[in-house]
Structure 1
Amino acid sequence: MAKNNLLAFCHVLQSVYSRDFFIGKTHRIASVSLLSLLPLAVNAEALSLQQAVEKAVSQDDWLVSSQQKENAMRVLSQGMTALPDPKINVGLLNMPTDSFDVNQEAMTQFNVSVSQMFPAGDTLRLAGEKYTAQGDQMPLMRDNRRAMLAMEVSNIWLTAYRYEESIKLVKQNRTLFEQLHEVVESGYSSAYGRAKQQDLVRSELELIKLDHRLTQLRQAKESALKKLSQYILPTMMNQNTADQNITLKTTREPIKLTSSNTLTSNALAARLSQHPLVRLVDVQSNTAQIDKAMAEQKYKPEWGVTLGYGYRGDDLSGKDRADLASIAVSVSVPIFSSRRQDAQVKAASLQVESFLSEKQLVLNELMAKYRVLTSDIRLLDQRIRLYQTKLIPSYRESAQAMLNAYTSNDGGFSDVVQARIATLNAHIELLDIRIERFKRLAELNYVMTQGEEVKNT
C-alpha cells in the first residue's frame, strides 16, 4: 500500500515537472516595457507599480515647495523692474544761533527736496529677467524629481515584487514536499515500505529549511515595503505589510530598444538634449549670461535728479523775501572701480563658458548610461532565453530522471530532493533576472525622460 501511495505521488510530481508553472511561452520579453507582467489574482487590495508611482508623485512635499519657490521668483521678477523709491529731505537751513529768529538773516530758509536715482543702463530690466530665469529652472527640476521618484519607487517596488513571487514559488514547492513527506512517512511506518529513516529525516529537514526560507523572504518583502512607505504615506499602506499584495499591470510600452545602427549618436544626443538635467543647464547658462550683462552695466553711470524748494520768511523790516527753487543732476563716474568691474565681467564670462562644458558633461553621462543600460538589457534577454529554452528544461529532465530512478529502486531519495531544490532555485534565479531587467528599464526610463515646456506666468 505504501509503495502504491509513493507511485501515485510520483505521478503527481511528474505532472508538475512536465509543465512550466512560472513562465509560459506567452510571457516572452520582446520589448522594454517596464510594466509588462500580467496582473496577479489577490485577495486583498493590490498595490500596482503605477499606483505606487502616482501616489509618490502626488504626495511629494518637495514638488509643492518647488512650485511655491517658482511663484515667489516670478513675483519678484515683476517687482524688480520698478525704480528705487525717491527720497524726500526736509530741513531748516542757516538758522542764526544768536537769536534763533528765522527772519533775522536773508539766508535762513525752510527747505524741501526730492531726489530720484536711476540705476545704470538696463540694470532693472536685467534684474527682472534674472529672477524669471531662476523661476524657469523650477519646472525642469520638478520634471527631474518626478522621473527620479519613478525610478526609485520602481526599484523598491520591484524588489518587493521579487520577494512576493519567490514566496509563491517556495509555497508551491513546499506543498509538494509535504505530500512527499507524508508518503515517505507512510512508507517508513509500513513493514513493506521501502522508505528509510534517513529519507524521513531528510524530508523533515527540507520542510524546515523551506519554512526558514519563507520567513526570510517575508522579512525581506516587509523591509522593502517599509522603504516604500517613505514615498507613500503609511496610511496608504496596509498595516500588515507582510500581507500587502503588489501587482504589475499591462500598459503601453513607454520605450522600445533601438539598434545602434538605427539610432545614431546625433539622434541620441538630440533625444537626450531634452532631458530635464540638460535643459536645466541651458537655463542656468541663461542666468549666467544675464549676470554677465548686469556686470557690464556697471561701466555705465548712475544718474540722479534732485528738486528742491526753499521757503524764506520776511526780513526784519517786514519786506517779503523771494522763495528759492533748485534743481541738481548727479552722475557717477566709474573711474576707480574699473578694475573691480573688469574682474566681475571676466568672472561672469568664465561662468557662462563653464555651463557649456557642464552641458556636454551631462550629455556624455546620459549617453554612456543609455549605452550601458541597453547593453545590459540585451544581455539579460539572452540570459532569460537561455533559462527558458535550455537551463530550466534541463533541470526538469534531470529531476524527472532522478524521480524515475528512485521509483525503480535505482536512485536515492536525496537525489530526488536535490533535483527538486535545484529546479526551484532555477525558477527563482530566472525571476531575479527578470526583475533585474525591469530595474534596468526603470533606469532607462529616467535617462530617456523629456521635460515639459517651461511656461512663463
Structure 2
Amino acid sequence: MLNKIIFKKGKGILKWTHLSVLVFFFLSTEICLASDSPVETLSLGDAIEQALQSNPNISSMEARYRALTYLPEQAGALPDPMLMLNAMNVPTDTFNTNQEAMTQMQVGISQALPFPGKRSLRKKIKHYEAEAAYYSVEELRKKIVNDVKQSWLDLFFLDKAISVTQNNQDLMRQLIETARKKYEVGKGLQQDVLLAQLELSRLLEHGIMLQNMRKHQQIKLNILMDNPVDTIVVLDEDLPELQVSSGQESTIQQNALETRSSLAEKKEQFRASEASLALAKKGYYPDFKVSVLYGKRRDTPLGAKRTDFMSVMLNASVPLYAGSKQANAIKQKQHELEKNRLTLKSEQNKVHMEVAMALADLTKAQEQFQLLDAGILPQARQTVASMMSAYQVSKVDFLNLVRSQISLFNYELQYWQAKIDIHKSEANITQAIGKEY
C-alpha cells in the first residue's frame, strides 16, 4: 500500500485550495501540540522487546504450551486402582452373615494394566504434541517480531514521506511567490500563479492522506505492543543497522530448512502421528486387570471358627471386534500420518518460496536504491535547480518547472521507499530462515 502513494498530477479545482490549507493547518497544529508533550522516541529494538513481553497472542500460546507439558506424564501413568467392598453369598431369607459358610465380607483392590508398550506410546504422543506447541510459540514470536519490524519501518517511511511532502509544500509556496512577482511586473502569466496554487493544494491533500496513513500505522504498532491505540509513537530519526544476508541462496535455503520453527512444529506433529499409528496397531493386544480380594467370614452360630478367604483374579480384554474397530483405527491413523507428511512437505515448499521471494525483493530494492541514490535523485535535483535559474530569466516555461519539481518529489519518495524496502526484505528473510532478530 505504501508504495502506491507517489504523487501524481491530476485534475484539481482551485476553489479547494484555501480549504485544503485550513484542514492541513489544523492537522499540523494538532500534531505539533501533541508533540509538545514529552514523548520518548521508540527504537525498533525497544518496540520488538515490548511486543515480545506484552503481546497477548504470544502469552496465550505460551500458556497453551505450558498446559500441554503436563500431559505426557498423565498419559503414561497407570489408571487409578479400584477399591472393592463386596458382600458375598448373603442369604436373602434372614440376611444373617453367620448362617451360611460361604457368606463373606470382601475388601479388595484392582489395577488395570495396559498391554506393555501402550503407556510409553501414549506418553510419546503427548510429548510430541507439546513439542509441536513449543515450536508454534517460537514461530509466532518470530512472526510478531517481523510484524513489528514491518509496522515500525512503514511508520518510519511515512514520517519521511510527510517530511518530504512538507518540504515540497514550502518549495511550491516559493514558486507561487516567484510566479506572482513575475506576473506583477508583467513578465509572467496569471495561469502560472493559478497552476502553482493548484499543485500546492494537491500537495496539501497528499499530506492529509499521509497523516491519516500514519495514524493507522501507529494504531497497528500500538496493538502489536499491547499499548492503548491512542498512544503517540515517535520513532528514532535513524534507521537501525542493517543486517545484510550473506551466502548463496542455496545455503540460505538449507539454513531455513534446519532452523525454521514452523518446519520443526510440523515434524513433531508427524512424529506424533507415527506414535499414534504404532499405538493403534497395539490395539490388537489385550489389556489386563488384576484384582486381589480378602473375604472375611463370621464364626458359626455354635461358635466354631471359620477360615477367611483370599481371591486373585486376572481379566484380559478380547479384541473380538477387531475387524470393525482396531482395523479401522489403524487405517484412520495411516491417513492421518500421510496427511501430516504432506503438510510437512507443503510447509517446506512454503519456506522455500518465502526465502526466494524475500531474496528477490531484496535484490530489487538494493538495485532500485542504488539507481536512485547515485543517479536519478542527484540528476533530478540538478534539473530543478537549473530550471529554477532558467525560469528567473524566462528561458523555461513555468509548467515544465512545476513538472520537474513534481518529478523530484516522486523520486524522493521512491528513494525512501527503496531504502525501507531493503530493511523490510531483510526482515522477511530473517523470519523465513527462522531467526528472531
- The bucket for the TM-score relative to the shorter chain is 0.7 to 0.9
**Cα distance per residue 1:74-123 (max 9 Å; x no partner):** 22322333322222222222222333322322222222232222112222
1:158 aligned partner: 153
**Cα distance per residue 1:268-313 (max 9 Å; x no partner):** 3354232101111111111112212221222222222222222222
Q: Which has the higher contact order (CA 8 A, sep 6+)?
A: 1
User: Residue 177 in 1 paired to residue 167 in 2?
Assistant: no
User: Residue 358 in 1 paired to residue 343 in 2?
Assistant: yes
2:318 aligned partner: 333
User: Residue 373 in 1 paired to residue 358 in 2?
Assistant: yes
| More deviation, 157-166/197-206 | 197-206
1:406 aligned partner: 391
In 2: Cα distance, 1:66 partner to 1:207 partner: 50
SS in 2 for 1:442: helix
Aligned residue among 396, 408, 415 for 1:423 = 408
SS in 1 for 2:83: strand
Q: How many residues align?
A: 401
Pairs within 5 Å for 1:196-207: 196-207=189-200
Tell me: CA distance 1:407–1:70, structure 2 relative to 1, closer, same or farther (3 Å): closer
Tell me: CA distance 1:238–1:100, structure 2 relative to 1, closer, same or farther (3 Å): closer
Deviation of residue 204 (structure 1)?
A: 3.0
**Cα distance per residue 1:114-146 (max 9 Å; x no partner):** 222211222222222222222212221111111
Tell me: CA distance 1:320–1:177, structure 2 relative to 1, closer, same or farther (3 Å): same
| More deviation, 61-70/272-281 | 61-70
Q: TM-score by structure 2 length?
A: 0.83
Amino acid at match of 1:283: E
Tell me: CA distance 1:399–1:379, structure 2 relative to 1, closer, same or farther (3 Å): same
Query: Does the 8 A contact of 1:184 with 1:199 survive in 2?
Result: yes
Aligned residue among 245, 253, 273 for 1:256 = 245
1:214 aligned partner: 207
2:331 aligned partner: 346
Deviation of residue 409 (structure 1)?
A: 2.1
Pairs within 5 Å for 1:72-83: 72-83=67-78
Deviation of residue 165 (structure 1)?
A: 0.4
Amino acid at match of 2:337: V
Pairs within 5 Å for 1:190-339: 192=185, 194-235=187-228, 239-240=231-232, 244-251=234-241, 253=243, 255-260=244-249, 263=250, 268-339=253-324
2:429 aligned partner: 444
Query: Does the 8 A contact of 2:253 with 2:355 survive in 1?
Result: no
SS in 1 for 2:285: coil
Amino acid at match of 1:357: L
Query: Does the 8 A contact of 1:80 with 1:127 survive in 2?
Result: yes
Q: TM-score by structure 1 length?
A: 0.79
Tell me: CA distance 1:339–1:269, structure 2 relative to 1, closer, same or farther (3 Å): farther
SS in 1 for 2:295: strand
User: Residue 106 in 1 paired to residue 101 in 2?
Assistant: yes
In 2: Cα distance, 1:373 partner to 1:332 partner: 57
Amino acid at match of 2:55: D
In 1: Cα distance, 2:238 partner to 2:324 partner: 64
1 or 2, which has the higher helix percentage? 2
SS in 2 for 1:210: helix
Tell me: CA distance 1:66–1:245, structure 2 relative to 1, closer, same or farther (3 Å): closer
1:142 aligned partner: 137
In 2: Cα distance, 1:214 partner to 1:131 partner: 56
**Cα distance per residue 1:140-174 (max 9 Å; x no partner):** 11111111112222222222222110111122222
Aligned residue among 36, 45, 48 for 2:43 = 48
What value does the CA root-mean-square deviation take over the aligned residues? 2.7
Deviation of residue 221 (structure 1)?
A: 0.9
Tell me: CA distance 1:327–1:272, structure 2 relative to 1, closer, same or farther (3 Å): closer
Matched-pair identity in %: 23
In 2: Cα distance, 1:328 partner to 1:410 partner: 113
Query: Does the 8 A contact of 1:121 with 1:300 survive in 2?
Result: no
Aligned residue among 371, 386, 389 for 1:386 = 371
Amino acid at match of 1:449: G
| More deviation, 283-292/96-105 | 96-105
In 1: Cα distance, 2:114 partner to 2:369 partner: 68
In 2: Cα distance, 1:369 partner to 1:74 partner: 31
Tell me: CA distance 1:153–1:333, structure 2 relative to 1, closer, same or farther (3 Å): same
SS in 1 for 2:395: coil
Query: Does the 8 A contact of 1:305 with 1:330 survive in 2?
Result: yes
Query: Does the 8 A contact of 1:121 with 1:301 survive in 2?
Result: no
Amino acid at match of 2:191: Q
